[in-house]
């Protein structure tokens, strides 16, 4: 299952059924779980743990040192879960000491070609990062997030569950769960209704629609409105949306309306 031109350093922990393609290089600190495949000309190094049934395509670079000038060779990690698809020419870096020391990618994700996942990024489960999406350091993605192609996300930005960022956008602020953002700089454009219909019943979607209008279209103060809704609503999705807003550190990108408008 390992091509004769591939190099696997002593100490690497490779499950017996893992396939490794021609001219790939697997360093000593790497662990790869059962059922996984590694394409040709792929580099996996550092303290990198890869779970089961991952498909890694050719020319990916996984676990190379962070692109952070503060990095001084300290021991850091990259953890990747199960059932991920990592396409050609992706670049995934481990964490840094200042950011917790670990980059984590959950399970069931699709990272298309030329995606970059920088140091200390945290990605949940079942996310899709389209071609050339770029996540700067310390970015957090929840579960079922979609990031369109050619979209950079600024460092420390947090994107909530079931949110979607349109292609060719540039995101510099936090996007709450269930929302859709688009533009350069990206702003909220509404709810991610396609994603919502896959997860929530009609009553919850209607509750989110009403909450969205009150939060972002009424002209009322955002934080005050979020607190009021969180206390008044019985819908878990609405509460999650409001908590995210109240906890946001980079602010929410939306076009503010005044009462006069």
pLDDT digits (tens, 9 = 90+) for 195-251: 999 899 999 999 999 999 999 999 999 999 999 999 999 999 999 999 999 999 999
Q: How confident is the model at residue 261 (pLDDT cuts 50, 70, 90)?
A: very low
- Give the pLDDT confidence of 57-110 residue by residue, as tens digits: 999 999 999 999 999 999 999 999 999 999 999 999 999 999 999 999 999 999
Is residue 124 annotated as a catalytic residue, yes or no?
A: no
- Any idea which fold 196-247 has? Udp N-acetylglucosamine O-acyltransferase; Domain 2 (1.20.1180)
Segment 16-27 shows an average pLDDT of: 98
Q: What is the pLDDT of residue 58?
A: 98
3-state SS, residue 2: strand
**Which one of 41, 116, 119, 126 is the catalytic residue?**
119
Which is catalytic among the residues 33, 63, 137, 195? 137
| 126 part of the active site | no
pLDDT band at 259 (very low <50, low <70, confident <90, very high): low
Residues 129-154 have pLDDT tens digits of: 999 999 999 999 999 999 999 999 99
pTM (predicted TM-score): 0.97
DSSP state of 133: -
Give which of 76, 68, 133, 131 is closest to 104, Cα–Cα: 76
In this prediction, residue 260 carries a pLDDT of: 39
Instruction: For residue range 179-198, list pLDDT tens digits in order.
Output: 999 999 999 999 999 999 98
Domain boundaries, the chain: 7-156, 196-247
H or E element in which residue 247 lies: helix 236-247
- From the list 68, 120, 125, 143, the catalytic residue is 120
Q: Just give the CATH number of 7-156.
A: 2.160.10.10
Which of 110, 188, 127, 121 has the alpha carbon at shortest distance from 153? 121
Q: What is the CA angle 242-105-103, rounded to 5?
A: 95
| Whether residue 120 lies in the annotated active site | yes
Q: What is the DSSP secondary-structure string of 138-161? A: T-EE-SS-EE-TT-EE-TT-EE-T
Share of the chain above pLDDT 90, in %: 97
């Amino acid at each position: 299952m390992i091509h004769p031109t591939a190099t696997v350093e002593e100490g690497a922990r490779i499950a017996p059924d893992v396939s490794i393609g021609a001219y790939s290089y697997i360093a000593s600190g790497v662990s790869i779980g059962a059922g996984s495949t590694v394409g040709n000309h792929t580099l996996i190094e550092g303290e990198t743990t890869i779970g089961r049934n991952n498909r890694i395509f050719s020319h990916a670079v996984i676990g190379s040192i962070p692109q952070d000038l503060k990095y001084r060779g300290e021991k850091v990690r990259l953890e990747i879960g199960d059932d991920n698809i990592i396409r050609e020419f992706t670049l995934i870096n481990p964490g840094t000491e200042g950011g917790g020391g670990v980059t984590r990618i959950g399970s069931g994700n699709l990272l298309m070609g030329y995606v970059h996942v920088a140091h200390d990024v945290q990605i949940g489960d079942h996310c899709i990062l389209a071609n050339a999406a770029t996540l700067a350091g310390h970015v957090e993605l929840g579960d079922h997030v979609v990031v369109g192609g050619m979209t950079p996300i600024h460092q420390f930005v947090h994107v909530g569950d079931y949110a979607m960022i349109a292609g060719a956008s540039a995101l510099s602020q936090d996007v709450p769960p269930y929302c859709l953002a688009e533009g350069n700089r990206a702003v909220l454009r509404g709810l991610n209704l396609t994603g919502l219909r896959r997860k929530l019943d009609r009553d919850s979607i209607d509750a989110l629609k009403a909450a969205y209008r009150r939060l972002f279209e009424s002209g009322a103060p955002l934080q005050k409105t979020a607190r009021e809704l969180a206390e008044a609503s019985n819908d878990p999705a609405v509460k999650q949306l409001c908590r995210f807003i109240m906890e946001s550190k980079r602010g929410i990108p939306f076009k503010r309306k005044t009462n006069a408008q």
